[in-house]
């Protein structure tokens, strides 16, 4: 039963992760490997049960103590309480390591993605980037599809290093080859979700 309680406490921590993220208790500044600390401390929690005083039994025993029988412990031992708290913290910190809304830095190309509603808005900002074709282009009768690995992005007139991949679709008149450097300007959007 102890393992079930610990697993439920972990799931409770992961479940409260989005709430703690929105409340500002967990942020992008939370170290991604912080969940290792509660995990490393978890095997030490049974040692806390030795601190509990077992001399006075809460109920009279049916079997004699001189025969080696020990009184039953209460359901919530100190080790179990601390273990449950560590599992809740483990779940919260594990959510902070991989949140549903990722933490994009300025060098991540996905930080410049537009929301889906603003993709076809002509007033939406455009992004200029430099990169190279990182896979062989797929050529159809009327179009080409290729993956471009970004190396630099232009922000406020200055070039900054960037990393990320962009799927580009263009006409088939000009042919592109693998490894060719490109200079692109357009609107970035996250790829669609297909269910």
pLDDT tens for each residue of 47-104: 888 876 655 555 565 676 777 777 666 667 888 899 999 999 999 999 988 887 778 8
Q: Residue 130 pairs with which residues in a beta bridge?
A: 152, 183
- Is the domain of 89 the same as that of 125? no
Whether 104 maps to a domain, the answer reads no
Cα–Cα dist 95/26, whole Å: 9
- pLDDT of 53 reads 60
Whether 150 maps to a domain, the answer reads yes
* Count of domains for the chain: 2
Domain C-terminal end among 97, 127, 147 = 97
- Is the domain of 117 the same as that of 171? yes
Question: Percent of the chain beyond pLDDT 90?
Answer: 40
**At residue 183, does pLDDT exceed 90?**
yes
Report DSSP letters for 5-73, one per residue: HHHHHHHHHHHHHHHHHHHTSS-TTS-TTTTHHHHHHGGGGGGGGGGS--SS-SS--SS-GGGT--PPP
Instruction: Band the pLDDT of 13: cuts 50, 70, 90.
Output: very high
**Average pLDDT score over residue span 179-191:** 87
Q: Is the pTM of this model over 0.85?
A: no
β-strands 127-133, 138-139: how paired?
Answer: unpaired
**At residue 188, does pLDDT exceed 60?**
yes
Domain C-terminal end among 72, 97, 122 = 97
Domain enclosing residue 181, as ranges: 109-186
Whether 9 maps to a domain, the answer reads yes
- Is the domain of 9 the same as that of 88? yes
Q: State the average pLDDT for the chain.
A: 85
- Is the domain of 118 the same as that of 53? no
């Amino acid at each position: 039963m102890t393992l079930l309680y610990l697993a439920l406490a972990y799931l409770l921590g992961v479940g409260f992760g989005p709430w703690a993220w929105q409340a500002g208790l967990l942020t992008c500044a939370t170290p991604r490997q912080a969940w290792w600390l509660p995990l490393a401390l978890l095997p030490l929690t049974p040692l806390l049960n030795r601190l509990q005083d077992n001399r006075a039994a809460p109920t009279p025993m049916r079997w004699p103590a001189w025969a080696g029988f020990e009184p039953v412990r209460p359901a919530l031992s100190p080790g179990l309480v601390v273990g449950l708290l560590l599992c809740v913290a483990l779940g919260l910190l594990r959510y902070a390591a991989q949140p549903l809304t990722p933490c994009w830095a300025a060098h991540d190309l996905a930080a410049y993605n537009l929301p889906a509603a603003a993709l076809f808005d002509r007033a939406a900002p455009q992004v200029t980037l430099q990169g190279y074709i990182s896979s062989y282009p797929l050529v159809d009768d009327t179009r080409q599809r290729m993956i471009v690995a970004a190396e630099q992005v232009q922000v406020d007139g200055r070039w900054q290093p960037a990393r990320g991949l962009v799927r580009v679709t263009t006409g088939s008149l000009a042919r592109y080859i693998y490894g060719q450097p490109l200079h692109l300007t357009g609107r970035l959007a996250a790829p669609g979700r297909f269910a």
